[in-house]
């Protein structure tokens, strides 16, 4: 895989992950529900994103940046896994 293709795939996957993060963040407020569900939702965010401190603006910014970066990490890991698979 060439370098240009890596950056394009990383960008696309990063934007996709960032959009999913925004949907999940908004879903917390749209869903309503019991306090247990909201606590679980917040706990999952806390497990998934470094620096998560609750449903606030700094956490939203950290989460969207980390989601974007995870796109590049996923593409890099996918490319690395391809190096170890022998082609026959």
Q: Give the pTM.
A: 0.82
Is residue 62 very low, low, confident or very high in pLDDT (cuts 50, 70, 90)? very high
Q: In sequence order, which residues have a C-beta less than 8 Å from that of residue 12 and are 6 or more positions away?
A: 71
* Angle, CA of 73, 41 and 10, to the nearest 5°: 15
Average pLDDT of span 45-61:
90
Is residue 74 within 8 A of residue 13, CB to CB? The reply is yes
Distance CA 55, CA 76 (A): 30
pLDDT for residue 70 is more than 60: yes
Per the prediction, the chain carries an average pLDDT of: 87
What digits encode the pLDDT tens for the residues 11-29?
999 999 999 999 989 988 8
- Tokens for 27, please give them: 């879903």
């Amino acid at each position: 895989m060439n370098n240009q293709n890596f950056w394009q795939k990383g960008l696309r996957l990063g934007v996709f992950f960032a959009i999913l993060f925004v949907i999940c963040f908004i879903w917390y407020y749209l869903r309503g529900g019991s306090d247990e569900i909201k606590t679980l939702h917040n706990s999952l965010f806390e497990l998934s994103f470094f620096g998560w401190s609750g449903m606030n603006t700094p956490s939203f910014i950290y989460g969207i940046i980390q989601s974007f970066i995870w796109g590049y990490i996923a593409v890099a890991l996918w490319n690395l896994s391809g190096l170890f698979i022998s082609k026959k």
